[in-house]
Structure 1
Amino acid sequence: MASTRRRWLAGCGAAAWCLAAAPAWAQFVELIERTKPSILIVGTYKATNSPRFNLRGTGFVVGDGNLAITNAHVLPTSGEPSDGSDLVVQVRQGRELQMRTVTVLEIDRLRDLALLRFSGEPAPALALADSDAVKEGQTIAYTGFPIGGALGFSPVTHRGMVSSITPIVLPAANDQRLSARSIRSARDGSFDIFQLDGTAYPGNSGGPVFDPASGAVVAVINMVYVRGTRESALSQPSGITYAIPANFIVPLLQRHQGQPR
């Protein structure tokens, strides 16, 4: 009799938890659907290439709806061989993807961030959260195009948590020389990053990490510079994902928000 009562109470507890969790889960499903039009495919395009479009990473819409954030390393560099391809983003409009031309407004090499302006009609912008308020153990979600679009050009969303908040210095791109300036930059350029317990891939680079309750962006996925710095001694990459806090986006927006298109 006692064991029957315990099973009954356990069943009631599970049912109550399910009833309580159902609204939150339904809200998260709706949030993913609302977020998709704000997720951009960043790549290069040339009509004579095969394929014509080459995915380089993920971006997301901010500010006035024609601004976007991605990782700086997602963009072609001056030292990279060029075939004349144009930098573009693909914006989701309903079930269709529209290709838009891009202007690079500013690059923050220290934190591997880039602010872009894309042409055409604005897309829904994601709000930015105060990343200084993020705590270890906090639940997050992130969206992007893993494995460089090998799984298709539909945004993929994962859930996880902030496993750790730890300081890092990102390496300067294409600069292998030590100088007084680079050493001083490394000393002064340390900042906190988020380690996440979910696994992301290079195609996720530049994608948003957001609060699954509000949808506000707390960080930007970084899968190249940070991993190369933190895990260069590993022959096999771990499942750790790194992200740059969203507060570093704010100065970029403040310098360019409201400028003529």
Structure 2
Amino acid sequence: MDTQSFNATSDAVQSPAPPPARSPAPPSAGREAAPPPRPSARCAAPASRSPFTLTHVWILLGLLVVLRYVVPYLLERYQYAVTRARQQAEYDVASKALGSLQLSGLSKASQLVSQKVGPSVVHIDVSSVRSQRQPEEYAQLYGRPAEPSYGQGSGVIVDPQGYIVTNSHVVHAAAEIEVALSDGRVLPARIVGADSATDVAVLKIDADRLIAAPWGDSEELDVGALVWAVGSPFGLQSTITFGIISAKHRANLAGDVYQDFLQTDAAVNPGNSGGPLVDAQGRVIGINTAIVGDSYRGVSFAVPSSVARAVYERLKASGRLARGWLGVQLDDVSEPTARRLGLPAATGAVVVLVVDDPRVPSPAKDFGLRVNDVVIRWNGKPVGKSAELIRMVAMTEIDSTAQVELIRAGRKLTLEVRVAERPL
């Protein structure tokens, strides 16, 4: 091996020479151009995945359709099934409970109340005369002719001798009164007496075979007690409605201190005025008298029987209502007044003035009542406010003796007072 060969070998071992670049061979005149190289399998892969992607799109669209339409439908059916099962369970429980509660007794009670009080309820037609408005020149020449006015209401027979209780405003300024009985008879009636302060009037008819409704005691009824209103709303005779006592002792609704109403939610409408409010035994515990607004709104008022009966008996006896009189000016006991007078509670009626006039009777002066006396009981009944005491005194029989419990300078006293008649 010569030196030149050794060197060539060493060069090859240390750094192999790159292969010589091949220049593209020019196409010969007698040959066609070589076809382009075929794509490898790796380059063809994306084309083979295209059907798989479309399948996913269709699946996604199908899922969206299911979520949009099928799932809500299934949820609705499920909720319906749950609700239906709950309603069925409630129905079964309610059916069993209603069977044991015997609520049919309440329905029967309404029927019996209607049968008991129905024959005693009357329809009242009233005609009055009022001056017709005319131009002044015609009035001077021809006078003012009378124009008839008509009204209607209800009433209740409380005495088989023909005495009927109704509202004073029903028969106010009446020229003629006709009463339609439940048996079809229509009879004229006359006014025995009326008291506008309590809105109670008494009528009299001449008839036999009358059925009187019994009186009940409104003081025995508690709030929530069942009541029935009977009358002729809008002229519809013998209408009965049902409700409860919503409140008691609603006072001064029309600005009159002598008014003391029962509040009820029994449906009362124009034409019901004067009709009875009865309890579950068919006893008269009130006389329907007023509503809030022009028609029924769930709030109506009745004169309690404790007032209506007392007024009826006095009007029947004398045709007028003489009210009791104590001869004092009263006020409610406020918190400051209670502290000033050393009272245990802000209740009762405090005397702020004792009448001292020789022309006017003054039982308070004659029997020892003084200013700052606080009346807490009248004839054994508690006094909460001054208006209550005024009504109690007013309904006390004239010339009778009343027991007055009061607090004076921190001490309880009991006085006897002879009630006088309130001056006109």
Do both proteins adopt the same fold according to a TM-score greater than 0.5, normalized to the shorter chain? Answer: yes
Q: Secondary structure at the match of 2:274?
A: coil
Q: State the distance in 2 between where 1:72 and 1:53 align.
A: 17
Asked if residue 91 in structure 1 is aligned to residue 181 in structure 2, the reply is: yes
Q: State the distance in 1 between where 2:288 and 2:217 align.
A: 16
Instruction: Name the amino acid aligned to 1:136.
Output: V
| Superposition deviation, residue 59 in structure 1 | 0.4
| Superposition deviation, residue 123 in structure 1 | 1.6
Aligned to 2:122: 40
Deviations 1:53-107 (A, max 9, x none): 9551000100234110000000132xxxx7xx521211121xxx21112121121
Instruction: Name the amino acid aligned to 2:98.
Output: A
Q: State the distance in 1 between where 2:242 and 2:172 align.
A: 30
The answer as to whether partners of 1:111 and 1:170 remain within 8 angstroms in 2 is no
Aligned to 1:183: none
Instruction: Name the amino acid aligned to 2:266.
Output: G
Instruction: Name the amino acid aligned to 2:307.
Output: F
Deviations 1:192-230 (A, max 9, x none): 31111133112100110001x20001111112xxx5xxx
Aligned to 1:60: 156
Q: State the distance in 1 between where 2:297 and 2:105 align.
A: 34
Instruction: Name the amino acid aligned to 1:68.
Output: I
Q: State the distance in 2 between where 1:143 and 1:26 align.
A: 17
> Whose RCO is larger (CA < 8 A, sep 6+)?
1
Aligned counterpart for 1:134 among listed residues 221, 245, 252: 221
Aligned counterpart for 2:264 among listed residues 196, 216, 226: 196
Asked if residue 16 in structure 1 is aligned to residue 93 in structure 2, the reply is: no
- Bigger Cα displacement from structure 2, 63-72 vs 20-29: 20-29
The answer as to whether partners of 1:130 and 1:246 remain within 8 angstroms in 2 is yes
| Superposition deviation, residue 167 in structure 1 | 3.2
Q: State the distance in 2 between where 1:216 and 1:129 align.
A: 5
Instruction: Name the amino acid aligned to 2:109.
Output: Q
The answer as to whether partners of 1:198 and 1:241 remain within 8 angstroms in 2 is yes
Residues 112/236 of structure 1: CA separation in 2 closer, same or farther (3 Å cut): closer
The answer as to whether partners of 1:66 and 1:122 remain within 8 angstroms in 2 is no
Residues 137/86 of structure 1: CA separation in 2 closer, same or farther (3 Å cut): same
Asked if residue 251 in structure 1 is aligned to residue 310 in structure 2, the reply is: yes
Q: Secondary structure at the match of 2:181?
A: strand
Q: State the distance in 2 between where 1:246 and 1:206 align.
A: 12
Query: Percent identical across equivalent pairs?
Result: 20
- Bigger Cα displacement from structure 2, 57-66 vs 24-33: 24-33
| Superposition deviation, residue 127 in structure 1 | 0.8
Q: State the distance in 1 between where 2:206 and 2:116 align.
A: 21
Residues 238/139 of structure 1: CA separation in 2 closer, same or farther (3 Å cut): same
| Superposition deviation, residue 27 in structure 1 | 3.4
Asked if residue 167 in structure 1 is aligned to residue 250 in structure 2, the reply is: yes
The answer as to whether partners of 2:190 and 2:203 remain within 8 angstroms in 1 is yes
Q: State the distance in 2 between where 1:145 and 1:236 align.
A: 14
The answer as to whether partners of 2:289 and 2:301 remain within 8 angstroms in 1 is yes
The answer as to whether partners of 1:44 and 1:55 remain within 8 angstroms in 2 is yes
Aligned to 1:175: none
Q: Secondary structure at the match of 2:182?
A: strand
| Superposition deviation, residue 36 in structure 1 | 1.7
The answer as to whether partners of 2:154 and 2:273 remain within 8 angstroms in 1 is yes
Q: State the distance in 2 between where 1:249 and 1:140 align.
A: 17
Instruction: Name the amino acid aligned to 1:119.
Output: D
The answer as to whether partners of 2:200 and 2:311 remain within 8 angstroms in 1 is no
Normalization by structure 1: what TM-score? 0.70
The answer as to whether partners of 2:160 and 2:208 remain within 8 angstroms in 1 is no
The answer as to whether partners of 1:65 and 1:122 remain within 8 angstroms in 2 is no
Q: Name stretches of at least 5 consecutive residues in structure 2 with no aligned partner.
A: 1-85, 129-147, 319-424
Instruction: Name the amino acid aligned to 2:153.
Output: G
The answer as to whether partners of 1:196 and 1:240 remain within 8 angstroms in 2 is yes
Q: State the distance in 2 between where 1:53 and 1:62 align.
A: 28
- Bigger Cα displacement from structure 2, 105-114 vs 243-252: 243-252
Aligned to 1:205: 273
Q: Secondary structure at the match of 1:202?
A: coil
Q: State the distance in 2 between where 1:67 and 1:235 align.
A: 29
Q: CA RMSD in A?
A: 3.2
Q: Secondary structure at the match of 2:313?
A: helix
Asked if residue 156 in structure 1 is aligned to residue 239 in structure 2, the reply is: yes
| Superposition deviation, residue 113 in structure 1 | 0.3
| Superposition deviation, residue 255 in structure 1 | 3.7
Q: State the distance in 2 between where 1:238 and 1:60 align.
A: 24
Normalization by structure 2: what TM-score? 0.45
Q: Secondary structure at the match of 1:73?
A: coil
Residues 222/45 of structure 1: CA separation in 2 closer, same or farther (3 Å cut): closer
Q: State the distance in 1 between where 2:294 and 2:114 align.
A: 35
The answer as to whether partners of 2:276 and 2:286 remain within 8 angstroms in 1 is yes
